[in-house]
């Protein structure tokens, strides 16, 4: 069974479109994260939710909006896509909001904006 | 400012030789340190962490890391490298600022190549 899953795996779209990426974890974890990894492999945290509450909200354009319907799901909606949004987006989860515990990452969603 | 540095973009070793991937950090207080590995086209996987206790930490796949407080380092090591260890390795430290302690500060990654 996949612990942290993301859909879709690949997403190719035109500038200006709106798209969503979904994430689900079946580990029973309380905390979930969205990361962006650019073409140079730099990893940047975007958001984190703990039990459906937003706890980390980094400096990210407000075109990006996370939504957590329950603690097992964290979706990322992106409005008015731009070329610079092209990246791999990773979802992750961890057992608690503190950072004594490791994070479990999904396989990533490769977003290409044309 | 708090930071994590991985001074080498690329490390190459021969299979069977020992490997070291370097990491230094700068945080206030006692650090919580982590190593993750990313295989091509995959998500990151946790390798090991240092929270407190023994300075030598053992992790997955035969990796270990040594916490050195005086040198503010947390280098990743393995006695005998395998070709399958070729991947991107990330060091991370917990952000110690009040209110920020729910996120990690990530290094820029070191690409490890193991030659047969």
In this structure, are residues A4 and A90 in contact, taking their beta carbons and an 8 Å threshold?
no
Tell me what pLDDT residue A98 has: 61
DSSP string, A40-86: T--EEEEEEEETTEEEEE-S--TTEEEEEEETTEEEEEE-S--GGG-
Cβ–Cβ gap B34/A42 under 8 Å: no
Tell me what pLDDT residue B64 has: 97
Which parts of chain A sit beneath pLDDT 50?
none
Tell me what pLDDT residue A14 has: 97
Which parts of chain B sit beneath pLDDT 70?
98-102
Tell me how close the Cα of B62 comes to any Cα of chain A, in angstroms: 18
Which one of B2, B39, B42, B44 would you mutate to disrupt binding with A, by most A Cβ within 10 Å of its Cβ?
B44
Looking at the complex, does the CB of residue B102 fall below 8 Å from at least one CB of chain A?
Answer: yes
């Amino acid at each position: 069974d996949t612990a942290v899953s993301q859909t879709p795996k690949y997403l190719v779209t035109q500038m200006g479109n709106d798209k969503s990426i979904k994430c689900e974890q079946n580990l029973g974890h309380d905390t979930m994260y969205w990361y962006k990894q650019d073409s140079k492999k730099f990893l940047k945290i975007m958001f984190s939710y703990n039990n459906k509450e937003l706890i980390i909200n980094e400096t990210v354009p407000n075109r990006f909006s996370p939504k957590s319907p329950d603690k097992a799901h964290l979706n990322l909606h992106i409005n008015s896509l731009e070329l610079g949004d092209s990246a791999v987006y990773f979802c992750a989860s961890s057992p608690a909001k503190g950072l004594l515990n490791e994070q479990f990452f999904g396989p990533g969603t490769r977003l290409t904006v044309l | 400012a708090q930071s994590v540095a991985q001074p080498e973009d690329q490390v190459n070793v021969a299979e069977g030789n020992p490997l070291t991937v370097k990491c230094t950090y700068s945080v206030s207080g006692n650090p919580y340190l982590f190593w993750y590995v990313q295989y091509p086209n995959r998500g990151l996987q946790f390798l090991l962490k240092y929270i407190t206790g023994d300075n030598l930490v053992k992790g997955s796949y035969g990796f270990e890391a040594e916490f050195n407080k005086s040198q503010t380092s947390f280098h990743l090591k393995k006695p005998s490298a395998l070709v399958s260890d070729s991947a991107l390795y990330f060091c991370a430290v917990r952000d110690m600022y009040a209110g920020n302690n729910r996120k990690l500060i990530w290094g820029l990654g070191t690409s490890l190549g193991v030659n047969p």
